[in-house]
């Protein structure tokens, strides 16, 4: 066989591919009335041929990336490589389908910045449909993995593909459960788009709740049922527009931290996960937010999850005094367990009345939420002082009416240490 390392000879190299596919294509759809192939079935000669062909074409692709084929051959070269991967994918090679989807732009010679042309989007959807409706359980799992990270397709297209997986009667049980969980998350995402607005509609929320209930019943005793139960609880109790449930947690010294103690303050509850976030980076982020919104009516409550509170003691040295931090190890009852927060980073914005305003907003939206809420508190303080005939000049930032200040200081001692009560502004503090 001619060397694939010479870009001028690649057509001859790829020409040998049909020989490896001599056993013919597999059906792209498995009849719903028949059982799918068993996972422990012996590997056929055809599967071996497909794998060998994939390895060969993949080496051509990676070699062309390393050697930077000449521009006049690049388009033709990419088209040939992509066609080879496509043929392998249609013949039932899951690895080739994964390559076509993951390296779509590179294989098609498309810009990384511009949106995909409509024809390419349609073609990409077709690749997914082959996996979703195919006979190979591995292809179904691959489609689900990639769809959960998909950025090229629209939310509606992603939802339709995941719905197709969720409704496949003969899909493996783990695929059905994961697809149903993913579909419920798309129907009623645990997040918000703007102040006072949610991505959920009543009909979609009802369908999501019905899916969660079905998962708990059909997959009782499995991790999927547990995840569905937690997600259902969050939708009912911890979503924008709901009053935030109370919780009790502890700081590294063992002192109690109760969420309801922060009534009257703009509160951001920031959950971190030891497996996916750096403690010091999380603390630096909270400190930076505190410097931007220096006010005794704003508190950043960090709920850090890890194995030992010892790591927090040195990390907390030198941080600002306006925030609170709790440490919750594995199996420890506290905020994460009370709110059934998944094992990832989560931000919850709560207004001074205790109402959940946003879940996982973007950085810019989070900043705007805090500024808007603090502005509302300032305006309310000025109105109260004007109504009582007080000196409006004392209603500046970080200083509300006397009744409000008394409420803050009794409910949350940290208020007495904030600006205007003996603590310098961030610019005057030594980091």
Pick the closest to residue 303 from 329, 331, 264 (CA basis).
329
Pick the closest to residue 200 from 144, 249, 252, 241 (CA basis).
241
Strands 324-329 and 346-350, bridge-based pairing: unpaired
Structural contact between residues 308 and 329, judged by C-beta atoms closer than 8 angstroms = yes
- Domains for the chain: give ranges and CATH numbers: 241-431 (3.40.30.10)
Strand (E) or helix (H) holding 390: none
Name 2's Cβ contacts closer than 8 Å, sequence gap at least 6.
9, 12, 13
Pick the closest to residue 126 from 75, 160, 168, 175 (CA basis).
160
Model pLDDT for residues 318-332, shown as the tens digit of each residue: 666 668 899 887 667
Q: Looking at residue 170, what DSSP letter applies?
A: T
Pick the closest to residue 53 from 112, 96, 10 (CA basis).
96
Structural contact between residues 160 and 122, judged by C-beta atoms closer than 8 angstroms = no
Q: What is the 3-state secondary structure (H, E, C) of 334-353?
A: CHHHHCCCCCCCEEEEECCC
Tokens 């000196």 sit on residue:
391
pLDDT tens series, the chain, 431 aa: 333 334 444 453 454 455 445 444 443 444 444 444 444 555 678 778 888 889 988 888 888 776 655 554 466 778 888 888 988 888 888 999 999 999 999 888 888 889 999 999 999 999 999 999 988 899 999 999 999 999 999 999 999 999 999 999 889 999 999 999 999 999 988 876 544 444 568 899 999 999 999 999 999 999 999 999 999 999 999 988 899 999 999 988 889 999 999 999 999 999 998 766 678 888 888 888 988 898 889 999 999 988 777 777 777 776 666 688 998 876 677 999 999 998 889 999 999 999 999 999 989 999 999 999 999 999 998 888 888 765 544 444 343 444 444 443 433 333 333 333 334 454 544 33
Structural contact between residues 20 and 49, judged by C-beta atoms closer than 8 angstroms = yes
Model pLDDT for residues 143-199, shown as the tens digit of each residue: 999 999 999 999 999 999 999 999 998 899 999 999 999 999 999 888 765 444 445
Structural contact between residues 295 and 398, judged by C-beta atoms closer than 8 angstroms = yes
Q: What is the DSSP string of 31-51?
A: -TTSPPPPTTPPPPHHHHHHH
Strand positions, DSSP E, 259-413: 266-273, 298-306, 324-329, 346-350, 356-359
Which pairs count as long-range contacts for 100-103, CB under 8 Å and 24+ apart, including other chains?
A: 100/127, 101/127, 101/128, 101/146, 102/146, 103/61
Tokens 């509850």 sit on residue:
269
Pick the closest to residue 370 from 425, 313, 289, 429 (CA basis).
289
* Alpha carbon distance 146, 96 (integer Å): 14
């Amino acid at each position: 066989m001619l060397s694939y390392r010479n870009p001028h000879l690649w057509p001859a190299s790829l020409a040998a591919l049909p020989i490896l596919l001599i056993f013919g294509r597999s059906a792209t759809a498995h009849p719903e009335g028949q059982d799918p192939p068993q996972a422990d079935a012996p590997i056929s000669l055809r599967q071996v041929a497909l794998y060998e062909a994939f390895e060969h074409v993949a080496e051509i692709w990676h070699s062309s990336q390393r050697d930077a084929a000449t521009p006049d051959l690049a388009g033709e070269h990419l088209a040939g490589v992509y066609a080879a991967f496509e043929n392998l994918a249609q013949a039932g090679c899951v690895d080739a389908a994964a390559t076509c989807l993951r390296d779509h732009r590179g294989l098609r010679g498309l810009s990384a910045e511009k949106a995909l042309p409509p024809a390419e989007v349609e073609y990409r959807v077709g690749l997914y449909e082959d996996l979703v409706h195919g006979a190979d359980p591995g292809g179904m799992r691959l489609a689900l993995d990639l769809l959960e990270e998909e950025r090229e397709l629209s939310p509606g297209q992603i939802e339709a593909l995941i719905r197709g997986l969720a409704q496949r009667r003969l899909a493996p049980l783990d695929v059905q459960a994961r697809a149903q969980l993913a579909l419920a998350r798309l129907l009623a995402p645990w997040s918000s788009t703007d102040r006072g607005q949610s991505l959920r509609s009543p009909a979609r929320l009802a369908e999501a709740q019905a899916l969660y209930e079905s998962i708990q019943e059909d997959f009782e005793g499995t991790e999927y049922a547990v995840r569905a139960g937690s997600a259902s609880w969050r939708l009912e109790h911890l979503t924008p527009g709901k009053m935030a449930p109370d919780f009790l947690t502890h700081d590294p010294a063992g002192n109690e931290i109760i969420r309801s103690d922060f009534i009257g303050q703009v509160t951001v509850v920031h959950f971190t996960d030891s497996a996916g976030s750096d403690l010091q980076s999380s603390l630096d982020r909270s400190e930076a937010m505190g410097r931007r919104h220096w006010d005794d009516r704003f508190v950043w409550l960090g709920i850090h999850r890890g194995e030992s509170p010892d790591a927090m003691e040195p990390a907390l040295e030198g941080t600002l005094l306006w925030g609170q931090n709790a440490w919750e190890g594995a199996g420890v009852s506290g905020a994460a367990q009370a709110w059934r927060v998944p094992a990832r980073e989560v931000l919850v914005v709560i207004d001074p009345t205790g109402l959940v305003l946003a879940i996982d907003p973007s950085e810019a939206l989070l900043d705007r939420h805090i500024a808007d809420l603090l502005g509302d508190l300032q305006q309310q303080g000025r109105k109260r002082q004007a109504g009582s005939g007080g000196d409006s000049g004392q209603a500046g930032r970080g200083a509300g009416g006397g009744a409000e200040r008394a409420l803050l200081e009794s409910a949350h001692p940290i208020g007495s240490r904030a600006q205007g009560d003996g603590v310098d502004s961030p610019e005057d503090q030594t980091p």
